[in-house]
Amino acid sequence: MIADPAWKSALLHKGKDVADLLEAVLSGKDVDLASLPVPSGPGEDPELRLRNFLDQIDRAIETFDTDAFGRCQLCGADLDRGALQQQPWLATCPAHAGRWIS
């Protein structure tokens, strides 16, 4: 898949936003996590949730210029271009949605 260069900019901006939220959580501030992907489980620790999402963004940035970008990290299926336009950090296809990749 040929990635849209604007997606890399979106990844970098989202990564900064998430890093800023993580810094606020580590400073003991109350933050709104509604803009993040759904938690992996009920009562998931905010710090862990932010770290997992930041890892997902970092993996997307690392693979951006490779054949791995835009493919499900579990089954290798091509991800929907429209979905990547909205969330270029996506790591899984709809069949594997909601699974964290470690």
Q: What is the pLDDT of residues 20-53, one digit of tens each?
A: 999 999 999 999 998 888 777 777 899 999 999 9
Q: Half-sphere exposure (CA, 13 Å, Cβ side) for 33?
A: 22
Q: What is the pLDDT of residues 63-99, one digit of tens each?
A: 999 999 999 999 999 999 999 999 999 999 999 886 6
Q: pTM for this structure?
A: 0.87
Rounded to an integer, what distance in angstroms lies between the CA atom of residue 80 and that of residue 8? 16
Q: Which residues contact 5 (CB under 8 A, 6 or more apart)?
A: none
Rounded to an integer, what distance in angstroms lies between the CA atom of residue 4 and that of residue 62? 15
**Which stretches of 23-93 are assigned E, i.e. beta strand?**
none
CATH architecture of 5-27+43-94: Up-down Bundle (1.20)
Rounded to an integer, what distance in angstroms lies between the CA atom of residue 88 and that of residue 59? 11
- All structural domains of the chain with their residue ranges: 5-27+43-94
